[in-house]
Amino acid sequence: MYEVTIEAGFSGAHVLRGYHGKCGRLHGHNWKVVVTVATDRLDDIGMAVDFARVKQETQGILAQVDHTCLNEVFPFTELNPTAENIAKWVWEMLSKRIEGTAVAVARVTVWESDSARASYVP
Report the amino acid identity of residue 87: A
In which element (H, E) is residue 84 found?
helix 83-97
Domains of the chain: 2-120 (3.30.479.10)
Q: What is the pLDDT of residues 73-118, one digit of tens each?
A: 999 999 999 999 999 999 999 999 998 889 999 999 999 999 999 9
Catalytic site residue from 3, 23, 27, 72 = 23
Catalytic site residue from 67, 72, 84, 99 = 67
Q: What is the pLDDT of residues 2-52, one digit of tens each?
A: 999 999 999 999 999 999 999 999 999 999 999 999 999 999 999 999 999
Asked if 69 is an active-site residue, the reply is no
Asked if 72 is an active-site residue, the reply is no
pTM as predicted: 0.96
Q: Are 38 and 71 in contact (CB under 8 A)?
A: no
Asked if 67 is an active-site residue, the reply is yes
- Which residues 6+ apart lie within 8 Å of 66 measured at CB? 10, 11, 12
